[in-house]
Amino acid sequence: MPLLIRSSSPQNVFELLGKDENSATYALGWTLERSPTFAARLLGAIMGRQAPRQDSLSKLAVVLQRGGDDRGFTDLELHCQPVLHVIIEAKAGFDVPTVRQLSRYQPRLRGSVAAYQGLVSMSALPEQIASLRLPREVSGTAVKHISWGSVRALAKAARSNAAGLEEKLWLRELISHLEDYAAMKRTKDNTVYVVSLSGDRMREDGERTWIDVVVQDGCYFHPVGDTWPVQPPNYLGFRYGGELHSVHHVEGFQVVDDVSSVNPSWCVTAKPHFVYKLGPAMRPPRRLGAAGPNDTIKRSARAWCAIDTLLSGQFDQLGQARDETDRRLRVAEQSDD
């Protein structure tokens, strides 16, 4: 007999509360209280040192939605005097808390006698990228970011070492629940981020063009954020000369300020960039132009398209592939309502 919630079947018990950030933090708090193995691993990751001994966590208090004189409610607080006092601010997407949000809760730590006091950000954003957007401390209190993907990995590691069946059960439910929150969800995404490449030289003293970066170097790079993605796509598509030429799986990436430090023939940059290592080229079976049914995609415009709309030969124009992808997303959103 299937259990349905608004026509969808929940995949774990925590999903009964939905899929927002409260559901994630409630699931996290519940599992921390029932799994000392997981608690020790998570606190070790937060504190940046060897995980506390499990017997020292016998007095760990897990507090959800605690109100304060600042008229706010913290997502999750962890107390274990005199070891630590941590405030966790969680996000369901790829955002991170603002400095203002963190500053609002920092005074709650002032009266603590814990040896370690910290403010923790949690979201789908990987640690490497979050470190570019968060301060290292707020009013002398350490700031740490841990992605949902890392939390999930810690839960998996804890499950392999957990002794009791009940502890393993709750860890399994948490691992299942956090799958939709983690950045790894992008690795299952079959949409392609299509960008335009120029045949112009990248720098006055060199011959390398933007097309050469893809075709010859097997790489691509772009800024982190500022109208560009803050989460690496799983697939990249490249168009130039008025048509789509190839789609590539992203095999790996790194974040650097100056991309010429990766390849001296590239241009010099001075802010964080994703540098992608591309897999083999996949090509459309026939010409896929840049025009839509009633418009033309501008030369520098970027678009998200489902991979099958680009490689199946179903469409003649990139705009059609984009519009079909948008249509599918609207249908999916309506079915979730």
pLDDT tens-digit profile of 127-140? 888 888 899 999 88
Confidence category of residue 229, pLDDT binned at 50, 70, 90:
confident
User: Which residues form the domain of 207?
Assistant: 189-336
Q: Do 32 and 87 fall within a single domain?
A: yes
Q: Is 71 left (phi over 0), alpha (psi -120 to 50) or beta?
A: left
Which among 144, 170, 186 is the end of a domain?
186
pTM for this structure?
0.68
The better pLDDT of the pair 164, 246 is held by 246
Does some domain include residue 264?
yes
What is the rounded CA–CA span in Å between residue 281 and residue 41?
Answer: 41
- Order of all β-strands in the sheet with 273-278: 219-223, 273-278, 243-256, 235-240, 191-196, 303-306
Q: Do 168 and 21 fall within a single domain?
A: yes
The better pLDDT of the pair 297, 91 is held by 91
Q: Do 179 and 210 fall within a single domain?
A: no
Q: Do 25 and 163 fall within a single domain?
A: yes
What is the rounded CA–CA span in Å between residue 214 and residue 252?
Answer: 14
Q: Is the pLDDT of residue 66 over 90?
A: no
User: Bridge partners of 238?
Assistant: 195, 246
Q: What is the 3-state secondary structure (H, E, C) of 90-135?
A: ECCCCCCCCHHHHHHHHHHHCCCCCCEEEEEEEECCCHHHHCCCCC
Query: Tokens representing 83?
Result: 């070891």
